Structure 1
Amino acid sequence: MNEVRPAPVAWSDTAWRAIGCSVLCGLAYAVLALLGEDQLPVSAPVVMVLARWFWLRHGLWGPGAVAALAGTAVAFLVADALRPSLDRLPADTLATEAGLLVALVVFTVCSRLRST
């Protein structure tokens, strides 16, 4: 039986997605800071963009699940480490960035391992 496997994620695609999501994260931070709102999640727009990218372009469920778990774990650990020394909004923004980068790298690496 010939199974069609999706192509692995290109590093250039990962880099462009990381840049775009970082800009989006910065914009979310700026808007929330201007509104004086530190309770809303700065990560929500980033997660929505990544989910749409995954759903429409890649659909590699195993690597996607591993990346989501790794990115979430890193984001929680970084937020937990930063919140005592920073305000909530900057700490959450930096934690979102760290989780984003880890999730994208893990997804790209796992998609390449699966294709070999």
Structure 2
Amino acid sequence: MNRAPALSWRETATVLAGCWIYCVLATLLLHLLDAPSIPIPPLLLAGLTQWFFVRHRYWIAGVVAACGGMVVAFTLLDDMRVHLDRITADGMTTAAAALVSLTLFTGMSRVTTI
């Protein structure tokens, strides 16, 4: 059985940068379209899921990362919407959840491969 390639912090930083760029561009686009009902997270989640299945199948790390990202998203979202408009709050919450998820995934993938 082939093991998934080791996950480097450089790759994590590259993927995280892509996630943040997506969140910023999606937020700007939704502001221009004035469409607060269009969700930001689904497309990002689909991209991260595809990256996970193609490159790194560390299942324990994936579950921990998904749970951590959901906790951050659900914790921050209501507080962010009080202080910001809905589109900006959704974008910032999605970016923060991606940061936590990718950090947990990288850390856990290194622990589980030892």
Match of 1:61 in 2: 59
**2:5/2:55 contact within 8 Å kept:** no
Identical counterparts, % of pairs:
38
- CA-based RMSD: 1.2
> Is 1:79 aligned to residue 66 of structure 2?
no
Match of 2:28 in 1: 30
Structure 2's unaligned 5+ residue stretches are none
TM-score normalised by L of structure 2: 0.93
**Aligned mates of 1:27, 1:73 — CA distance in 2:** 24
Secondary structure at the counterpart of residue 84 of structure 1: helix
Secondary structure at the counterpart of residue 74 of structure 1: helix
Displacement, 1:4?
4.6
Displacement, 1:6?
2.6
**Aligned mates of 2:79, 2:3 — CA distance in 1:** 39
TM-score normalised by L of structure 1: 0.92
Displacement, 1:8?
3.1
Displacement, 1:61?
1.2
Query: Aligned partner of 2:24: which letter?
Result: G
Q: 1:40 aligns with which of 14, 17, 38?
A: 38
1:90-112 Cα shifts (integer Å, max 9, x gaps): 11111101100000000000000
**Aligned mates of 2:30, 2:60 — CA distance in 1:** 34
Displacement, 1:78?
1.0
Q: 1:49 aligns with which of 47, 50, 57?
A: 47
**Aligned mates of 1:49, 1:7 — CA distance in 2:** 19
**Aligned mates of 1:73, 1:40 — CA distance in 2:** 21
